Amino acid sequence: MALFDIEFITPTRSFDLQDVEYAKCPGLDGSFGVMANHTDSVISLSAGEIKVLNNSKESYFSTSGGYAEISSNRLLLLVDSVESQEEIDEKRARDAVTRAKERLSSNNVDIDIPRAEHSLARALSRLSVSKR
């Protein structure tokens, strides 16, 4: 089976996954899958869950969005943040969901609605990944 590599890059860290069989990423227009020999592409990412199949084992990551570049059997993920399921504190993620929902349901005119919606999407992604 043909394989490819993934490189995650955030403002604070980077790491690689080698010999990946499949990855599913949250695109702005819906999820997309990547396998070896994928057509070269640049795709915008939304907040959501990244699924990686590596050595027949599934791993999950939460991202807050960014860009994916696919070329030469390599998936480069330039993201604002990424956390593996092991790195996520479920209680903290639940608390973030509650705070974001409270902000969105308040009648405060000073609330930045798009920012609050992004916070909620990120928190829901983190919570979902933490429960995998």
Q: Which CATH number belongs to the domain containing residue 59 in this structure?
A: 2.60.15.10
Q: What is the pTM of this model?
A: 0.83
Is the same domain home to 72 and 14? yes
Q: How many domains does the chain contain in total?
A: 2
- Domain shared by 15 and 70, yes or no: yes
Domain that holds residue 121: 86-130
- DSSP labels, the chain: ---EEEEEE-SS-EEEEEEEEEEEEEETTEEEEE-TTPPPEEEEE-SEEEEEEETTEEEEEEE--EEEEEETTEEEEEES-EEEGGG--HHHHHHHHHHHHHHHHS--TT--HHHHHHHHHHHHHHHHHHT-
Residues 73, 18: one domain?
Answer: yes
Q: Tens digits of per-residue pLDDT, 22-56?
A: 999 999 999 999 999 999 999 999 999 999 999 88
In this structure, are 109 and 98 located in the same domain? yes
Residue 108 scores a pLDDT above 80: no
pLDDT tens digits for 59-79?
A: 999 998 999 999 999 999 999
